[in-house]
Structure 1
Amino acid sequence: MSVFEEPLELIPLPATHVRAWGESVVVYDQRCGETHVLQPPLTELFQVLQEGPMTPTALFEYLEQRYEAAEGELEDAMHAGLTQLRQHYLIQVAPESRSA
């Protein structure tokens, strides 16, 4: 499995640290004391990853069903969103895929 196709998951967060606010999702990260305000379409990635680990391919297929956009634009937006979630240390490679 390519490193780019390993399932990604959200870091464990207490439910009380995640709030939907209009179209935004506000996440408090107790590890560093930062609060992150996620805007669409980043909120879509965050919310679907709350349901469980997904590969980038599965995430793209999910977004493709929800948005009408050129494939390249949608893929670029998804990768930018995943990069932002990584920069905030809110996602990680799912542990079960690391041992495979």
Structure 2
Amino acid sequence: MREKTQKDIEKVSQLYKVLSDPTRLKILFFLKTGEKNVTSISQEVDMEQSAVSHQLKLLRDNRVVKSRREGKTMLYSLDDHHVLDILDQTFEHVQHH
């Protein structure tokens, strides 16, 4: 494994900052089952669509989720499953004690 550069350390720190919000975690676990639109995500996390859109933008900007347009609808999904692996390991860690 290669040496960790300052840039790598900053990217990891930023990823953990993005993952540190309970609403964003709920969104990610909801997306685990597949693509969803903002309306269904809003209903799942019980928040206004504008607030969910803001959270999705942060997740997208940090390459945690991706989006695609289908007609007039934007669909969101996990960018890759590495993030879920990280979260699963984190949950195992906190539940271990």
Bigger share in helix: 2
- The TM-score, its normalising length taken from structure 1, stands at 0.47
Superposition TM-score, scaled by structure 2 size: 0.48
Larger RCO (alpha carbons 8 Å, 6+ apart): 1
Query: Which one has the largest radius of gyration?
Result: 2
